Amino acid sequence: MLIVQKFGGTSVGDLERIQNVANRISKTLNEGNDVVAVVSAMSGETNKLVGYAEHFSKTPMRAEVDMLLSSGERVTASLLSIALNEMGHNALSMSGRAAGIITDDVHTKARIENIDPQYIHAEVKRGRVVVVAGFQGVSESGKITTLGRGGSDLSAVALAGALGAELCEIYTDVDGIYTTDPRIEPHAKKLNEISYDEMLELASLGAKVLQNRSVEMAKKLNVNLVTRSSFSDAEGTLITKEENIMEKPLVSGIALDRNQARISMSGVIDRPGIASDIFSALSEAEVNIDMIIQTSSKEGNTSIDFTVPSNELIDAKDVVKKFIDNDEIKEVSYDEGICKVSIVGVGMKSHTGVAAKAFKTMAVESININMISTSEIKVSMVIDEKYAELAVRSLHAIYELEK
Ligand code: ADP
Ligand code: ASP
Ligand code: MG
């Protein structure tokens, strides 16, 4: 069968580990499978390159950032291909462009618009192992783009979908999806399976073990997705349709997102259409808004608070400034010392009291909740960042997730 195997930063973190990855691919090939590998940059490499760019500018041109960052993945792809050839396999590496990954032109967080799998298909048919540089594509105008941090997961899932691969394995430094980040709660339990929807919520709410867009894509294309460790042979976690899941616990997991910032606008002129104007402008600037709270209006003014990913705060500030300059917002303050903790579970659809239990847990720990948002399968709370780990551990205990 055709298997797409993706190896994350830690899995290709040094030369010995790249050899280890080559050995694993070799084993899969020798078992009679075809393999398309997708690789990340060596761990720390992307951050290092970001740092280089920021040495020269706080707001480097995004197209240049993409040109720079995409190089990290190309280094690993070619090294892995060299290692595989040395082992007697017929391997070749491809950039995102060569792999036919076409994106829009929103640099540093481009969306995949189309994949033309013919180049990879042709090579696989000739018995070759293709090693694709993850995290990148090419825009219609021929410029290199990147898919947002953690985007190699998306490269792998999208390729698995386009190639009609039977399986997409995401190899990382933990042996599956846990009830929460095992680095925060050592009692976290590994899940054998989880639904696309729950995984999508966990990933969107901060569990970086899978990039959220990759899960969205896996659901859309119905890709068989497994997360597992590149350092052991332990069975991983299957991410699949809800109807395939045997156990449906009330709460499946807790996510933590530290990369959140809050924007509090007061003295916002209360006229019909103001919220639409502000949030349309933010959307045009490609700022992702999460929670929004508007308080009731007093003397023709209102207050609106909302949260954005920390790395989009600069862009959000630019947008808000225009409304201040137009006298439509009086004051604004920014808070980067917040985080968001969330509880996720499809079981919540049919049970009440899950949210109340979470709020009570925060009360018992004397943690003040700043903002709340809920959906059918999640409850999120914005709290002071210094309580992040305490909140995760208390919630993990109260819902008995270690059992
Ligand atoms: P890679 O470099 O392989 O893409 P990442 O660092 O992006 O790996 O993701 C793996 C990390 O995700 C783990 O080391 C773990 O700390 C973190 N993580 C967060 N939430 C979870 C969770 N629920 N289950 C497993 N790992 C999680
Ligand atoms: N190297 C990129 C990052 O660090 C992409 C990835 O690892 O998935 O975000
Ligand atoms: Mg990752």
Tens digits of residue pLDDT in 219-242: 999 999 999 999 999 999 999 998
Compute the distance between CA of residue 264 and CA of residue 307 in angstroms, rounded to an integer: 9
pLDDT at 353 over 80: yes
Contact 359, 371 (CB under 8 A): no
Atom 6 of ligand 1 has which residue's CA nearest to it?
Answer: 209
Ligand 1 within 6 A of CB of 134: no
The residues, any chain, with a CB within 8 Å of residue 317's CB and separated by 6 or more, are 263, 334
Contact 342, 381 (CB under 8 A): yes
Ligand 1 within 6 A of CB of 145: no
Per-residue pLDDT at 250: 87
Per-residue pLDDT at 403: 87
Atom 27 of ligand 1 has which residue's CA nearest to it?
Answer: 181
H helix runs in 34-151, sequence order: 45-56, 62-86, 118-125
Per-residue pLDDT at 379: 95
Ligand 1 within 6 A of CB of 217: no
Residue extents of the structural domains in the chain: 2-173, 243-403
The β-bridge relationship of strands 144-146 and 129-133 is unpaired
pLDDT at 248 over 80: no
243-403 maps to which CATH number? 3.30.2130.10
Per-residue pLDDT at 347: 84
pLDDT band at 346 (very low <50, low <70, confident <90, very high): confident
Global pTM? Answer: 0.93
Ligand 1 pocket check: which of 149, 178, 209, 396 to mutate, most ligand atoms within 8 Å of Cβ? Answer: 209
pLDDT band at 243 (very low <50, low <70, confident <90, very high): confident
Give the mean pLDDT of 353-361. 93
Atom 8 of ligand 2 has which residue's CA nearest to it?
Answer: 150
Ligand 2 center to residue 57 CA distance, Å? 21
pLDDT band at 300 (very low <50, low <70, confident <90, very high): confident
* Reduced DSSP (H G I as helix, E B as strand, rest coil) percent helix, strand, coil of the chain, to 5: 40, 30, 35
pLDDT at 214 over 90: yes
Write out residues with Cβ below 6 Å of ligand 2.
8-9, 40-41, 46, 72, 134-135, 149-153
Ligand 1 within 6 A of CB of 207: yes
Percent of the chain with pLDDT over 70: 100
Task: Quickly name the fold that domain 2-173 has.
Answer: Carbamate kinase (3.40.1160)
Percent of the chain with pLDDT over 90: 92
Compute the distance between CA of residue 5 and CA of residue 251 in angstroms, rounded to an integer: 30
Ligand 1 within 6 A of CB of 40: yes
Contact 128, 90 (CB under 8 A): yes
